[in-house]
Structure 1
């Protein structure tokens, strides 16, 4: 018997969609990047993570207080109820006329729609250049967070977004993507092999063209923000210097200079906004492409908890003085769990992330979205209209088909 569901089980397939119109799209006004409508077959429940906390802790943002706030328990119930229904796979190209191909990224499924791309942000959680888990509502958080930042950074750079017809979907202009990730860092921290702290403690004092002084300690603030670009390799990202980018023909000098200026300006702006909301934007990455008119466009995502590291601001100094890790509201604690329980770079099979860690990460992502945007997160209700039709087969188990159509 068919069942109606909102999202997809982790190993399963999405054949999609909601009215994604690509016919004669025009670039909308700044406010219209954020979806203003909800498909009629979907309903959303507003659960605020931050409202209860804001009433009692207006001056200081404390992770301890947040863990115990009343809104968290209600939201955790919705998160736990969606653990087996994460949006982890999509296959729109199999059912939607006009979509020519699918490219599966670490988190996003990208469909070629001719002059435009359809980008579906899934709930897949990546780190260490591989998929670790599926996190309920993560794709919606990333998509809506990026749209919020895309809107508010157009004074710094143009972006490729055309419209956002669904909470997990964005339609973007095609462009020639530069094979370089612009990683901007404000602090010496991190746990991955390419993190600045890992590099620094190994004795390296010149990294991606940046001279680093002796005597820095983990989680210390740098005197100036630095750019540490990497190449977009298939298996893993490789640190590269600006001169190597030019010598290898990855970008022209003019394009690199413009993109690097934009990356540093975006990061400085993001740090100011984050601090106004009680957070520290520690580091992040940006990706750029060149449009058909030659303009450099910001693409992919902006200042999300996937691409960025965030700390609680008011407790930072005290915790550093006490030799403690900063309170983080990003995926770093999940990275650390995997580092403690396996070798995430070498082990062929990784352990399953504990349910409580997955739920905690989902909650932190939603909290960060609300804290940055000052908007209440709308949890999709699973028991609503015929969006996803689940059918069971003996060979493959549950399979979901996302009903709807893209208008080309």
Structure 2
């Protein structure tokens, strides 16, 4: 049974927020994030959940948070359930740091439509879809609680005082270092990390990586062995990401714009999305996916979280 949403009331809970995918329970110094099976595209939550998607996201994020903790400190304290992460409560910065190594997805659509400056970054002429960029670039977006995230430039972020210059320089440095580590890890698995987004927060004056990292919802991967041949032939890249869902929606007349209707999602299409998420997990982590018992997901999650909260969690250094 898929996890569409949760409505728990845990001891000591001080707040609750439902994001596009995660249900977030607040405590004085911690957050409990429950990864649901909801799926979003174009900043719209689609009507049908995807079996095991939340587990894939949570465990992929756990894998990469552990693997990058030496690069950037992160919020994660424990993972008491396949769908649950518990971590430090941080004050999030109101920007998402999108790092792009290749001209794909939103960046390509902007470039195709004639734009040569993206979020204040100049792009050279003559690029084709999925070409490698001269060097990774950062194209930030505002972080919207509702509606669409919006592209924004470094200069505008500083002009509006969204983030101080000193902190923004640190976020840039962390984002590029994470992208470099993610690129190296992807290469070891025969993959190319094409683009991804990072979110950061502040806890007691320290910048932490928060939320997820290098997951199928936040990242795009190409298969390395076919990349050059496909580019030379002008063919689409074989990829692991959520982009295939966006492409299906676009082909069926939906891009999240006012007045558009989300197309019906058949059982077979839902199953295909689930299979693609599991494939991505196994490819990027090198681990076999072990589906959690979903016969009583809500009870399983509630018990795991309650037990974890009653234990004395160690403070993050």
TM-score by length of 2: 0.91
More helix by share: 2
The Cα of 1:380 is off from its aligned counterpart by 2.1
Q: Does 1:179 find its partner at 2:94? A: yes
Q: Does 1:160 find its partner at 2:75? A: yes
Question: Which structure has the higher relative contact order (CA within 8 Å, separation 6+)?
Answer: 1
The Cα of 1:256 is off from its aligned counterpart by 0.3
SS of 1:111's equivalent in the other structure is strand
Q: Does 1:123 find its partner at 2:123? A: no
Q: Does 1:266 find its partner at 2:178? A: yes
Q: Does 1:206 find its partner at 2:122? A: no
Check whether the contact 1:92–1:99 (CA below 8 A) recurs between aligned residues.
no
Q: Does 1:319 find its partner at 2:226? A: no
Distance in 2 between residues matched to 1:161 and 1:381, nearest whole Å: 23
Check whether the contact 1:334–1:357 (CA below 8 A) recurs between aligned residues.
no
The Cα of 1:354 is off from its aligned counterpart by 2.7
The Cα of 1:222 is off from its aligned counterpart by 0.6
Indicate which of 265, 279, 283 corresponds to 1:367.
Answer: 279
Check whether the contact 2:80–2:304 (CA below 8 A) recurs between aligned residues.
no
- Equivalent pairs, count: 305
Distance in 1 between residues matched to 2:202 and 2:303, nearest whole Å: 34
Task: Name which of structure 1's ranges 263-272 and 362-371 shifts more when overlaid on structure 2.
Answer: 362-371
SS of 2:225's equivalent in the other structure is coil
Check whether the contact 2:96–2:142 (CA below 8 A) recurs between aligned residues.
yes
Which structure is larger by alpha-carbon Rg, 1 or 2? Answer: 1
Distance in 1 between residues matched to 2:273 and 2:192, nearest whole Å: 18
- CA deviation map 1:158-191 (0-9, x unaligned): 001111111111111111100000000011111x
Indicate which of 83, 103, 117 corresponds to 1:188.
Answer: 103
The Cα of 1:328 is off from its aligned counterpart by 1.3
Structure 1 residues 210-225: aligned runs within 5 Å:
210-225=121-136
Distance in 2 between residues matched to 1:366 and 1:137, nearest whole Å: 8
The Cα of 1:140 is off from its aligned counterpart by 0.6
Q: Does 1:90 find its partner at 2:6? A: yes
Name structure 2 gaps, 5 residues minimum: 311-317
SS of 1:285's equivalent in the other structure is strand
Distance in 2 between residues matched to 1:374 and 1:343, nearest whole Å: 34
